[in-house]
Structure 1
Amino acid sequence: MNPLILVVDDEPDVEVLFRQRFRRDLRSGRFAMEFALSAHAALRVIGEVEGTTLILILSDINMPGMSGLEFLPKAREARPDVPVIMITAYGDSETRRTAMEEGAAAFLIKPIDFSALRAEIETRLRWVA
């Protein structure tokens, strides 16, 4: 089974953007991406993909219902082996500090630096190879 990356964001256009940016990787089967429109849906996905090679979780911070900062410790508890990268349009130092204290592997500011994200994905792919 292909390594899996879970992307959690309440904006539906994020899926289109990620599928476009990683089109070649997805088509070739280097990895797969699953998308969740809420933190609650993401927790269900994490539970359902327990037998797969989940290599990375990318989560927006500002989402209705359960924020990314509330989701982070739940995701880390469910899958402590999987790094979680937090993504936000608001990169204030307090939010960054909270995310890192809760176990975030990294913190990305929108618009996303896809070169940096690709480097992180490549690192994770080497670990499962």
Structure 2
Amino acid sequence: MATYRIDARYWVAACLMVASVGCGPSLPFYNVQGEVLINGEPVKYAEMHIDPTSEGDSGRTVPARVVDGKFTTPIGVAAGPAEWTFSVVDTTGLKINDYHNLSDSEDGQIVRAKKEVFVKQIEVDREKYVIELP
């Protein structure tokens, strides 16, 4: 019986070719950052989600926290139309030490706090945004 040896480099090349079959052109992604304002004032704290809405989009929902009016997405956001949802927290009476690093009990306070929700349709086509709510 004959034994065949195949170099590992060929296996890697074959796997990469198979993995790339069917992949269309990829969308550009942006590391989005910016400011969120209500009546011209920075939002103290909000949780936001950016959901791509283009037809056939393979982008993912991107969460981010808005602290003292500023946000930076933790991962890239797919280019194109997107629905941005902002859950603004009423921080009155909350005992939060650091909004950037919430403990479990502080996170529970955020969940129970009144929230005002705003939804905006925004085209993702750059890295910096200033968003005025509502």
TM-score (norm 1): 0.24
Higher relative contact order, chain-length normalized (CA < 8 Å, sep 6+): 2
User: By percentage of residues, which structure has more helix?
Assistant: 1
Structure with larger Rg: 2
User: By percentage of residues, which structure has more strand?
Assistant: 2
TM-score (norm 2): 0.24
